Amino acid sequence: MASTIATMTRRILITLFAVSGICIFLRLYAHIGLYDVVEVFDGDTIAVAMAGRVEKVRLIGVDTPETKDPRKPVQCYGPEASAFSHSKLDRAKVRLVSDPLSTNRDRYDRLLRYVYLQDGTLYNKQLLSTGNARTYTGFAFSKSQEFVVAETQSKQQNTGLWQRCT
């Protein structure tokens, strides 16, 4: 009986040490895979420092009102959506994730990615849930249903562009 208790205690201690070690490792190396945002062009396009160069990144599945397209006038809620993006992404560190249903780059040679903030928030979805974007359905992506739900809830709550631009 005493040896059984000692064996169980030993196993529990080994497990606790292993879990503690993993937690410490994750905390120390959580920054790996994060990229510095060096420019926010508008609500749905950013630039990040990556592998010694700057890459333009188009956020998958979202379309914010235009503010920078010289062929189009500034759209309703464009300045607000752009300001929201600046408030969240200027000098931020982000994690970029591709989508298996999407191409790697768009026709303008921008990387197509989901953008996660350091706290784990999926920024693409946050744009939709705060009324700063519409779901972009110009190409297939795996989170399309999730994004449509976020946009629908934002519409129902009359948030952001849905309050001012409908």
105 is catalytic: no
| Three-state secondary-structure class, residue 78 | helix
**What is the residue-wise DSSP string for 5-33?**
HHHHHHHHHHHHHHHHHHHHHHHHTTTTT
> Active site residue: 80, 95, 110, 113, which one?
110
Question: Which tokens belong to 37?
Answer: 């945002």
> Active site residue: 55, 66, 80, 151, which one?
66
| Strand duo 34-42 + 93-97: pairing | antiparallel
58 is catalytic: yes
> Active site residue: 58, 95, 113, 134, which one?
58
CB burial readout 91-111, b (16+ within 10 A) else e: ebebbbeebeebeeebeeebb
107 is catalytic: no
Beta strand residue intervals within the chain, DSSP E? 34-42, 45-50, 53-59, 62-63, 93-97, 111-117, 134-135
Q: Which residues are identified as catalytic?
A: 58, 66, 110
